């Protein structure tokens, strides 16, 4: 990733959502480099193999086939990797909302679908 640009990592197993997110974010902020991963494992490998990872914001889905967001975050924590996280999910489960509040790295919880207003919220967290 570009060390001079603002860097966002998107981990979501939904390629359509990723496409929409990427296009809408770049429409608002063309200076953001976006790295996408369709599996949580590949996203986690990126963080574990890039030393140090240059990431300004992580957009993370909760429910993915190979690894859920909570396991992903536990692995980051275990490896002393801290990055601001916005959960992007279709889950409206109160248990997920409550669990997200337990993580100080989670700065927002956004429910899909991703709208222009939600994109503005995401972009506002990238300095």
pLDDT at residue 119, as a whole number: 96
- Say how far apart CA 94 and CA 29 lie, in whole Å: 32
pLDDT at residue 1, as a whole number: 53
pLDDT at residue 62, as a whole number: 97
Pair 91, 65: CB distance under 8 Å? no
pLDDT at residue 127, as a whole number: 78
- Per DSSP, the residues of 49-80 read HSSS---SEEEE-S--SS--HHHHHHHHHHTT
pLDDT at residue 2, as a whole number: 53
Provide the CA 115 distance to its chain's centre, in angstroms: 16
pLDDT at residue 3, as a whole number: 54
Q: Within the chain, which residues score under 50 in pLDDT?
A: none
Q: What is the CATH number of domain 6-124?
A: 3.40.50.2300
pLDDT digits (tens, 9 = 90+) for 70-102: 999 999 999 999 999 999 999 999 999 999 999
pTM score of the predicted model: 0.94
pLDDT at residue 4, as a whole number: 62
């Amino acid at each position: 990733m570009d060390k001079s640009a603002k860097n966002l990592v998107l981990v979501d197993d939904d390629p359509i959502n990723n496409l929409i997110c990427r296009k809408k974010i770049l429409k608002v902020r063309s200076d953001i480099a976006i790295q996408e991963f369709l599996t949580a494992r590949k996203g986690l490998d990126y963080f574990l193999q890039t030393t140090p990872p240059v990431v300004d914001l992580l957009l993370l889905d909760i429910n993915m086939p190979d690894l859920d967001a909570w396991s992903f975050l536990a692995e980051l924590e275990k490896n002393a990797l801290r990055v601001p996280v916005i959960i992007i999910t279709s889950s409206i489960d109160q248990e997920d909302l409550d669990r997200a509040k337990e993580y100080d790295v989670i700065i927002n919880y956004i429910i899909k679908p991703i709208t222009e207003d939600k994109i503005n919220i995401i972009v506002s967290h990238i300095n």
